[in-house]
């Protein structure tokens, strides 16, 4: 079976449109961004989604759902015309809304009404979403701020490739760091480190040009190219050279 040409060389951009919006300043400590996706496919399309450690609140197809952090890639089948409006919560910042360990919804999708109650917004735009979330604004939580800072450090410092280094930077034991991530991020620090280091790979793919895979693996802290390829395939569902064709 041949590969769907609509997923190659950024051809998907002819069928999909994406937009991103900033939340109200008062929500910024908890909400990373609002996002919208629209698509128009005459034939069903298998959309690959590779996760980051964000919890999402999404509205589309007549459903309102909370999407926990996923440990691996997903395939969503898109067909016809569709629209989804979503809220990406900052990693580590959803626990005050959930009122429970974020690990309880990892790899799960739950009804938004279970978390926020039945009075959900029906108008899907920034003012309506701001007003809705401001009504549910949680109290400040120092552990939330610590978890968010931990993920930000991973994202910004490419030298963070090991859990032990991250724990030392934050003044925590490895076990304490793992407990913090389970409770507030919903997935372990090793996974989050791996996800953000592999993000560097897709940045280079998008930039174009020839990639020295062995050198890149070394830059990302891998002992050898084989370990890098296995990690990439586990996260993205295909080897890096195959995935690069999407760009």
- Name the DSSP class of 34: E
What are the structural domains, with CATH classification, of the chain? 5-135 (no CATH), 142-244 (1.10.10.60)
Q: For residue 2, what pLDDT is reported?
A: 72
Helix or strand (DSSP H, E) at 75 = strand 74-89
Residue 82: pLDDT band (50, 70, 90) is: very high
Residue 136's region, left for phi above 0, alpha for psi from -120 to 50, else beta, is alpha
Q: Specify the long-range contacts of residues 237-244, CB closer than 8 Å, at least 24 apart.
A: 237/48, 237/50, 237/72, 237/73, 240/201, 240/205, 240/211, 240/213, 241/213, 243/202, 243/205, 244/205, 244/211
Residues 6+ apart with CB under 8 A from 244: 205, 211
SS3 state at 61: coil
Residue 1: pLDDT band (50, 70, 90) is: low
Task: Compute the C-alpha angle 43/47/49, nearest 5°.
Answer: 170
Residues 6+ apart with CB under 8 A from 224: 217
- pTM here is 0.94
Is the predicted pLDDT of residue 208 greater than 90, yes or no?
A: no
CA distance 201 to 105: 28
Tokens linked to 53: 């450690």
Interval 15-39: pLDDT, tens: 999 999 999 999 999 999 999 999 9
Among 220, 89, 90, residue whose Cα is nearest residue 150? 90
Is the predicted pLDDT of residue 210 greater than 90, yes or no?
A: no
Interval 93-125: pLDDT, tens: 999 999 999 999 999 999 999 999 999 999 999
Q: State the average pLDDT over residues 138-161.
A: 96
Following CA atoms 155, 159, 165, 168 in sequence, which dihedral angle do they give, to the nearest 10 degrees? -70
Interval 37-74: pLDDT, tens: 999 999 999 999 999 999 999 999 999 999 999 999 99
Q: Is the CB of residue 55 less than 8 Å from the CB of residue 89? A: yes
Q: For residue 162, what pLDDT is reported?
A: 93
Interval 156-201: pLDDT, tens: 999 999 999 999 999 999 999 999 999 999 999 999 999 999 999 9
């Amino acid at each position: 079976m041949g590969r769907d040409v609509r997923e190659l060389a950024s051809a998907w951009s002819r069928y999909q449109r994406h937009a991103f919006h900033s939340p109200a300043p008062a929500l910024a400590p908890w909400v990373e961004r609002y996002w919208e996706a629209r698509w128009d496919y005459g034939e069903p399309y298998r959309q690959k989604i590779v996760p980051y450690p964000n919890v999402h609140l999404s509205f589309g197809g007549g459903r309102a759902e909370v999407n926990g952090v996923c440990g691996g890639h997903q395939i969503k089948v898109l067909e016809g015309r569709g629209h989804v409006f979503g809220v990406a919560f900052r990693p580590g910042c959803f626990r005050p809304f959930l009122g429970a360990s974020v690990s309880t919804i990892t790899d799960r999708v739950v009804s938004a009404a279970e978390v926020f109650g039945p009075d959900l917004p029906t108008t899907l735009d920034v003012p309506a979403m701001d007003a809705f979330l401001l009504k549910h604004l949680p109290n400040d939580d120092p552990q939330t701020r610590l978890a968010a800072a931990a993920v930000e450090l991973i994202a910004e410092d490419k030298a963070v490739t090991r859990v032990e280094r991250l724990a030392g930077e934050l003044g925590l034991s490895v076990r304490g760091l793992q407990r913090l991530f389970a409770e507030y991020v919903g997935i372990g620090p090793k996974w989050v480190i791996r996800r953000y280091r592999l993000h560097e790979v897709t940045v280079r793919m998008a930039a174009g040009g020839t990639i020295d895979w062995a050198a890149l693996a070394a830059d990302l802290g891998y002992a050898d190219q084989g370990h890098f390829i296995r990690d990439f395939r586990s996260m993205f569902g295909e080897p890096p050279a195959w995935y690069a064709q999407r760009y």
